[in-house]
């Protein structure tokens, strides 16, 4: 399947220019199309201003900005969209007739293989598909504002969309670093389906005199652990958008309760914003009423979404956490307040709906009520398994947390490995990560919570379970492949290194950050790198915690195959056919002549380690040299105890078996997690500050 590379965005407004910018940032070729030069210029100006701010905040360098802008070509006239464009995303007004007119022009201008997409938050994707002239090469997209910042995108296939079309568009979105929810074509799709009624219910609470806008916002912030309440959010995005969205849902879903509140209509008529400047203090009675009403609509609608097959409950929660930046998703919140209580709140909201129109009453899904009757919390699945032609793909699907390993993920991955290892029809196991990352390490908060609770044995148990899971890869008779086409940090990189092969692309990034956060890599990170690329190169990677781009990872051998995006599937097929490698642990860099490998071999040699561990520059090296200075600076920022223990564990690979070395990692866990420096380093990471180590 040839991936998407040439993308056109029709509509150079705030949303269209944002999609164009993000697409260019990820190295796609972009056309930004509008009907007049002034609108194209305006879009270019929006992007220029946004990127200038990013330079000021040191997100991008001037050279990077120049490169991004250089990938965006302005095009005047939809009819002038290049015929060889792979994907065209229409991002014009949310008007069915306007959109279909654009698609009529695009169908004539674009080649037969071009995929058309509509960025829409409400319109029927199936109806739009019928109007495009190429219904099999059409999908709906719902980017969240601002598309260059917000990581969520909903992909809505039409009934007529071909599997290849959907797969290509999903791949494109993933390459933008987006968290992708593939959902059914129902009004509001996923996030707006529960978020918009939540906004309207806040308006109704205000209208009923339950509390002021400031009090409702404050109560909502507390209940949902969010930074902005419903009125503050409407002020930010514009009250007219809220009214349009809620009236649309009321009409499409035949739910009078969703009809925009009169105070919202009056506000828009007066061209005003909500006054949220008043006293935020609320009584316990006010809080209970506000929280339960807002919980009730969210819990009930979330269950309706799942009942209708729009998406899974995991994706509902994902949408809330990534798209809305809520601390927890609806189903997680239901578990937290209790399933019986959550159901009671949803039923109370349903009673209010019945008061609006008994014949079109809002109802709570039966499966939700059954769950409440059983008083059983919702169970979430974070590892998806698919098997095709003997290849089992295990996808860690927790992109809202960068697929970080926690007890649940490790347990589910271990169970999935048991199943595919026992399946005689499977000859190859592929590990993949949903979203931007493969796996961005272990869940650091888990470690911090356990240290503070004086429950370090729980950390040891969790890590031992991780070793057991990784051994199911290490000892598997199947060919094992890690698809590390994104970020693999710490425990994620250790997971990948337990596989026979690691496939990467130019977007691959590796790093062992452990010594800089007060610990050592405890899932094989002190053992497997040295056996793969040699002890000096392992010291460079692990002790100094150097970032590795794809080429560096490949030169060292930590990445076994570096391919372009278009060749990933071919590479997978070739490795599945070739079977397990003859020598998984060669003990030397794959490209010893590369600059990094050569430097690592000489600088981190056995003879230099005494000086390095004492914080001094080894003889024969110039401390002013940029490469040397960088290493010494990185080493100076590590926790001394962690650095020493990691170094000793790496050294042990020269005289121990892999099994014995892994046991040594486990044996020292209590010691390292009992240090004050481990708590300081891990806490500093969570708190976004630099740690201060005391060597204790």
H-helix segments, 401-488: 407-421, 444-452, 456-474
Residues 526-563 have pLDDT tens digits of 999 999 999 999 999 999 999 999 999 999 999 999 99
Read off φ and ψ for residue 173, nearest 5 degrees.
-65, -40
Beta-ladder partners of 141: 119, 155
Query: Do 404 and 470 share a structural domain?
Result: yes
Query: Do 201 and 169 share a structural domain?
Result: no
Statement: residue 356 has pLDDT above 80 = no
Statement: residue 173 has pLDDT above 80 = yes
- Indicate which CATH number applies to the domain containing 348: 1.10.1040.50
CA distance 258 to 261: 8
Q: Which string of b and e fits 144-174 if b means at least 16 CB within 10 Å?
A: beebbebbbbbbbbbebbbeebbebbbebbb
* Residue 694 is assigned to a structural domain of this protein: no
Residues 384-413 have pLDDT tens digits of 999 999 999 999 999 989 999 999 999 999
Tell the burial category of 585 from Cβ atoms under 10 Å away from its Cβ (0-12, 13-18, 19+): middle
- Indicate which CATH number applies to the domain containing 394: 3.90.226.10
* Residue 693 is assigned to a structural domain of this protein: no
Domain boundary among 346, 374, 402: 374
* Residue 531 is assigned to a structural domain of this protein: yes
Query: Do 82 and 13 share a structural domain?
Result: yes
CA distance 305 to 314: 11
What are the structure tokens assigned to 685, written together?
């990471």
Whether the CB-CB separation of 133 and 29 falls below 8 Å is answered with no
Write the Ramachandran bin of 693: left for phi over 0, alpha for psi from -120 to 50, otherwise beta. beta
Query: Do 581 and 454 share a structural domain?
Result: yes
Query: Do 431 and 509 share a structural domain?
Result: yes
What mean pLDDT do residues 433-449 have?
93
Residues 103-150 have pLDDT tens digits of 999 999 999 999 999 999 889 999 999 989 899 999 999 999 899 999
Range of the domain at 235: 191-374
Average pLDDT for the chain:
95
Does an H or E element contain 439, and which? Answer: strand 437-440
Query: Do 177 and 237 share a structural domain?
Result: no
Beta strands in 519-587 (DSSP E): 548-549, 561-562
Q: What is the DSSP string of 613-681?
A: HTT-PPTTS-TTSHHHHHHHHHHHTS-HHHHHHHHHHHHGGGTS-HHHHHHHHHHTHHHHHTSHHHHHH
| 3-state class (DSSP) for residue 298 | helix
CA distances in angstroms from 523 to 14, 58, 292, 362, 458, listed in the order given: 45, 34, 44, 50, 15
Residues 562-619 have pLDDT tens digits of 999 889 999 999 999 999 999 999 999 999 999 999 999 999 999 999 999 999 999 9
Domain boundary among 316, 341, 374: 374
Counted domains in the chain: 3
Nearest one of 132, 130, 122, 129 to 251, comparing CA atoms = 122
Query: Do 666 and 519 share a structural domain?
Result: yes
CA distances in angstroms from 221 to 18, 85, 132, 144, 338, listed in the order given: 28, 44, 42, 21, 20
Q: Which string of b and e fits 330-354 if b means at least 16 CB within 10 Å?
A: bbbbbbebebeebbbbbbbbbebbe
Q: Which string of b and e fits 8-46 if b means at least 16 CB within 10 Å?
A: bbbbbeebbbbbbbbbbbbebbbbbbbbeeebbebbbeb
* Residue 692 is assigned to a structural domain of this protein: no
* Residue 476 is assigned to a structural domain of this protein: yes
Residues 59-79 have pLDDT tens digits of 999 999 999 999 999 999 999
Does an H or E element contain 164, and which? Answer: helix 163-175
Residues 10-43 have pLDDT tens digits of 999 999 999 999 999 999 999 999 999 999 999 9
* Residue 1 is assigned to a structural domain of this protein: no
* Residue 695 is assigned to a structural domain of this protein: no
Nearest one of 172, 137, 180 to 22, comparing CA atoms = 172
Does an H or E element contain 428, and which? Answer: strand 428-433
pLDDT category at 1 given cuts 50, 70, 90 is low
Residues 204-262 have pLDDT tens digits of 999 999 999 999 999 999 999 999 999 999 999 899 999 999 999 999 999 999 999 99
Whether the CB-CB separation of 294 and 235 falls below 8 Å is answered with no
What mean pLDDT do residues 192-196 have?
97
- Indicate which CATH number applies to the domain containing 114: 3.40.50.720
Whether the CB-CB separation of 600 and 537 falls below 8 Å is answered with yes
Query: Do 435 and 289 share a structural domain?
Result: no
pLDDT category at 3 given cuts 50, 70, 90 is confident
Residue count of the chain? 696
CA distance 539 to 438: 23
Q: pTM higher than 0.85 for the full model?
A: yes
Query: Do 398 and 364 share a structural domain?
Result: no
Residues 511-522 have pLDDT tens digits of 999 999 999 999
Neighbours of 130 (CB within 10 A): 15
User: Could you give the percent of the chain with pLDDT greater than 90?
Assistant: 93
Query: Do 399 and 463 share a structural domain?
Result: yes
Statement: residue 303 has pLDDT above 80 = yes
Whether the CB-CB separation of 482 and 501 falls below 8 Å is answered with yes
* Residue 203 is assigned to a structural domain of this protein: yes
Supply the pLDDT for residue 362: 85
Query: Do 680 and 547 share a structural domain?
Result: yes
Supply the pLDDT for residue 53: 92
Query: Do 432 and 344 share a structural domain?
Result: no
Domain boundary among 129, 147, 182: 182
């Amino acid at each position: 399947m040839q991936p998407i590379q040439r993308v056109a965005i029709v509509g150079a407004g705030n949303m269209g220019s944002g999609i164009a910018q993000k697409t260019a940032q990820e190295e796609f070729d972009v056309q930004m199309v509008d009907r007049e030069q002034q609108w194209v210029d305006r879009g270019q100006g929006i992007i220029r201003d946004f990127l200038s701010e990013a330079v000021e905040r040191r997100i991008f360098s001037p050279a990077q900005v120049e490169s991004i802008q250089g990938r965006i070509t302005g095009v005047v006239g939809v009819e002038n969209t290049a015929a060889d464009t792979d994907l065209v995303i229409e991002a014009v007004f949310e008007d069915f007739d306007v959109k279909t007119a654009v698609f009529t022009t695009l169908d004539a201008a674009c080649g037969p293989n071009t995929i058309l997409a509509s960025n829409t938050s409400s319109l029927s994707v199936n109806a739009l598909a019928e109007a495009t002239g190429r219904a099999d090469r059409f999908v709906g997209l719902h980017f969240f504002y601002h598309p260059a910042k917000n990581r969520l995108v909903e992909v809505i296939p039409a009934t007529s969309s071909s599997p290849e079309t959907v797969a290509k568009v999903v791949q494109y979105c993933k390459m933008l670093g987006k968290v992708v929810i593939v959902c059914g074509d129902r009004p509001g799709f996923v996030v707006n389906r529960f978020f918009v009624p939540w906004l309207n219910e806040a308006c109704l609470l205000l209208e009923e005199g339950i509390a002021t806008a400031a009090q409702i916002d404050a109560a909502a912030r507390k209940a949902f652990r969010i930074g902005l309440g419903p009125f503050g959010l409407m002020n930010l995005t514009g009250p007219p958008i809220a009214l349009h969205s809620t009236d649309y849902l009321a009409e499409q879903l035949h739910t009078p309760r969703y009809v925009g509140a009169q105070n919202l209509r009056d506000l828009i008529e007066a061209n005003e914003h909500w006054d949220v400047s008043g006293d935020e203090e609320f009584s316990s009675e006010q809080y209970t009423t506000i929280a339960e009403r807002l919980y009730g609509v969210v819990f009930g609608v979330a269950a309706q979404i799942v009942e209708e097959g729009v998406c899974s409950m995991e994706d509902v929660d994902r949408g809330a956490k990534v798209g809305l930046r809520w601390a927890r998703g609806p189903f997680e919140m239901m578990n937290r307040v209790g399933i019986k209580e959550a159901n009671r709140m949803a039923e109370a909201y349903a009673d209010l709906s019945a008061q609006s129109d008994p014949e079109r009453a809002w109802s709570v899904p039966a499966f939700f009520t059954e769950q409440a009757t059983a008083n059983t919390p919702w169970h979430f699945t974070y590892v998806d398994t698919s098997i095709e032609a003997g290849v089992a793909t295990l996808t860690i699907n927790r992109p809202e947390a960068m697929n970080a390993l926690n007890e649940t993920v490790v347990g589910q991955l271990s169970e999935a490995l048991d199943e595919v290892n026992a399946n005689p029809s499977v000859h190859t196991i592929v590990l993949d990560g949903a979203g931007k990352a493969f796996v961005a390490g272990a869940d650091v908060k888990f470690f911090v919570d356990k240290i503070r609770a004086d429950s370090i044995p729980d950390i040891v148990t969790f890590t031992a379970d991780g070793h057991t899971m990784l051994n199911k890869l290490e000892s598997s008779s199947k060919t094992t492949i890690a698809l590390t086409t994104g970020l693999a940090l710490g425990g994620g990189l250790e997971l990948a290194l337990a596989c026979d092969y690691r496939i990467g692309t130019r977007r691959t990034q590796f790093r062992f950050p452990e010594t800089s956060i007060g610990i050592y890599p405890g899932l094989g990170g002190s053992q497997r790198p040295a056996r793969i690329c040699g002890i000096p190169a392992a010291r460079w990677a692990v002790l100094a915690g150097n970032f590795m781009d794809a080429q560096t990872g490949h030169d060292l051998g930590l990445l076994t195959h570096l391919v372009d995006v278009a060749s990933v599937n071919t590479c997978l097929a070739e490795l599945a056919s070739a079977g397990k490698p003859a020598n998984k642990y060669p003990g030397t860099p794959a490209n010893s002549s590369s600059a990094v490998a050569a430097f690592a071999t000489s600088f981190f040699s056995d003879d230099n380690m005494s000086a390095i561990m004492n914080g001094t520059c080894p003889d024969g090296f110039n401390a002013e040299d940029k490469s040397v200075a960088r290493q010494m600076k990185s080493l100076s920022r590590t926790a001394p105890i962690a650095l020493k223990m990691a170094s000793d564990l790496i050294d042990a690979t020269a005289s121990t078996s892999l099994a014995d070395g892994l046991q040594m990692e486990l044996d020292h866990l209590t010691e390292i997690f009992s240090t004050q420096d481990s708590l300081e380093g891990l806490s500093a990471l969570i708190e976004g500050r630099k740690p201060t180590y005391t060597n204790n």
